[in-house]
Amino acid sequence: MNKNNLIHLILSLIAFVLAYSIAYLTGIDLVKQVVLYAFLIQWVLFIPAYIFQTEKFYDLSGSFTYIFVICYVSYSFYLENGINIGNIILGGAIIIWAIRLGSFLFFRI
């Protein structure tokens, strides 16, 4: 492992610790779960992006992470509180944006 990779790994771990610490301070389990899942998705999808040295995986993983997080939070909210039309509209708008941006970035390269 060269020096740059080690620095990137350390910075990634610092970002995770900071994000999870903030999530922990909220005292909301759902926020902590979402932070864990978002980082896990990004770290796992980094592997093929690094191996193939392409940003295409990065672009898709960003969109996938947004979509997963919105679906996970919406489903969790639904299980506890039922249907909320505002959440459906907002979640749908975010998913449409993530698909549009992710596909644009994927096909631009």
pLDDT band at 109, cuts 50/70/90?
low
Tokens of 103: 């596909």
Residues 6 or more apart whose Cβ sits within 8 Å of residue 46? 57, 58, 61
What digits encode the pLDDT tens for the residues 24-72? 999 999 999 999 999 999 999 888 888 888 877 777 889 999 999 999 9
Q: Which of 37, 46, 53, 63 is nearest to 11 (CA)?
A: 46
| Number of Cβ within a 10 Å radius of residue 5 | 10
State the pLDDT confidence band at 7, using cuts at 50, 70 and 90.
Answer: very high
Helices 56-81/85-108 angle, 10° precision: 170
Spatial distance between the Cα atoms of 60 and 45, rounded to a whole number of angstroms? 9
